A and B are shown apart, each in its own frame.
Chain A
Amino acid sequence: MSWIRVSFLEACKFLKRRCIPNCIFAPYFRSDEPKKFAKVHKVFGASNVSKILTEVPEEQREDTVNSLAYEAEARLRDPVYGCIGAIALLQRKMVELQFDLSIARARLARYTANYSSSPILNDRSSMTTLSEFPVACGVLIESFGQNSSELSQDGLMNDFSQFPYTF
């Protein structure tokens, strides 16, 4: 295999091939991120990544590559559950929050009712309008039939501080 001596990017370097001018990987796998392509390639394969990228509009390819890299990282850290482990944990947290919120709302309603019925006290607040929080993507936890302790033992990627998508 011959190595091209001008600058070539990590994907083509990894694949030990010439980096052609319109290489689909070139804009998204820079030389300062050598492991990024390696991880994506290990999980998805170069051919599949190339197909996925050609199917999405060019302006969305960077996000596509980042999400693939995130999934690949999750799968390498947790070969059994990958990202699904993280989703299950987040769903569980969401269900707990919904429960806590319903308890708090009931308590607030009792306070408001008791407070407003007192002859000496004034009516100080109205009930807060609360929006509903349907849990995303249905109930995944039961379909995987795992409890939280077993999931966490598999070393899940539940550190979201490096999550690439901020809001």
Chain B
Amino acid sequence: MNSERCAACKYLRRRCPSDCIFAPYFPSNNPQRFACVHKIYGASNVGKMLQQLPTHKRVQAANSLYYEAQCRIQDPVYGCVGIISLLLQQIHNAENQLAKTQAEIAVLSNSHTQDSQFQQNFLLQQGNVGQSSSPSTQPSSWFK
């Protein structure tokens, strides 16, 4: 038996065995953590969930259960599903904004390309006008 009971065994008012499934993840210095998880899942369910996992994954499982329990206590209707909903909305908006910005870049890029071509043609024509000795071959209305 542990000299000091873990938070779970203190909460459940029982002795804390040396192989207590909760002890590594619910230390006695954080009683609120187990109280939170117990309120939403119940000790029995938490114990079963941890028991079914390999030891090296239990820390993350306990942490995620605690996080979800906190979300559910703060928002009893939606819990962490509310956060997922919000994130999906934000991603949707950000994707729309990105698509819009990229479309504007494409428009500007195409316009810039067309105008660059126009500039090049203009400069070429200026060069040709200077060199030509036959005015009749030049279109007289080109730059009117």
Q: How many residues of A contact B (CB 8 A)?
A: 62
A108 touches B94 (CB 8 A): no
A56 touches B105 (CB 8 A): no
Bound complex: CA A97 to CA B90 (Å): 10
B82 touches A67 (CB 8 A): yes
Contacts of A130 in B (CB 8 A): 97, 101
Instruction: Take A63-B78, A130-B101 as given contacts and tell me if A98 and B94 are in contact as well, using a CB distance cutoff of 8 Å.
Output: yes
B76 touches A108 (CB 8 A): no
B42 touches A44 (CB 8 A): yes
Bound complex: CA A48 to CA B40 (Å): 6
B91 lies within 8 A of chain A by Cβ: yes
Contact of B64 among A42, A44, A80, A112 (CB under 8 A): A80
Bound complex: CA A83 to CA B65 (Å): 9
Bound complex: CA A91 to CA B65 (Å): 18
Bound complex: CA A82 to CA B78 (Å): 15
A128 touches B68 (CB 8 A): no
A115 lies within 8 A of chain B by Cβ: yes
The smallest C-beta distance from A50 to any residue of chain B, in angstroms, reads 12
Contacts of A87 in B (CB 8 A): 80, 83-84, 87
Q: Which of B49, B84, B87 has the most CB of A within 10 A?
A: B84
B124 lies within 8 A of chain A by Cβ: no
A101 touches B90 (CB 8 A): no
> Which of A4-12, A17-25, A117-125 lies at the binding interface?
A117-125
Q: How many residues of B contact A (CB 8 A)?
A: 53
A68 touches B88 (CB 8 A): no
Q: Which of B18-52 contact A (CB under 8 A)?
A: 39-42, 44-45, 49, 52
B72 lies within 8 A of chain A by Cβ: yes
The smallest C-beta distance from A119 to any residue of chain B, in angstroms, reads 10
A167 touches B44 (CB 8 A): no
Contact of B81 among A45, A71, A137 (CB under 8 A): A71
A115 touches B98 (CB 8 A): no
A14 lies within 8 A of chain B by Cβ: no
The smallest C-beta distance from B137 to any residue of chain A, in angstroms, reads 26
> Which of B3-11, B107-115, B128-136 lies at the binding interface?
B107-115
Bound complex: CA A137 to CA B138 (Å): 69
B83 touches A101 (CB 8 A): no
Q: Which of B41, B61, B81, B107 has the most CB of A within 10 A?
A: B81
Which residue of the partner chain B has the closest CB to A157? Answer: B84
B53 touches A167 (CB 8 A): no
Bound complex: CA A118 to CA B111 (Å): 12
Q: Which residues of B does A touch, CB under 8 Å? A: 39-42, 44-45, 49, 52-53, 57, 60-61, 63-65, 67-68, 72, 76-95, 97-98, 100-102, 104-105, 107-109, 111-112, 115, 118-119
What 5 A-B pairs have minimum CB-CB distances, sorted nearest first? Answer: A67-B81, A90-B87, A84-B64, A97-B94, A104-B101
Known contacts A81-B60, A137-B86, A167-B88, then 15 further A-B pairs from the complex at CB < 8 Å, ordered by chain A residue: A45-B42, A45-B45, A64-B78, A71-B72, A79-B49, A79-B61, A80-B64, A82-B65, A84-B80, A93-B91, A105-B101, A121-B112, A125-B104, A133-B94, A135-B90
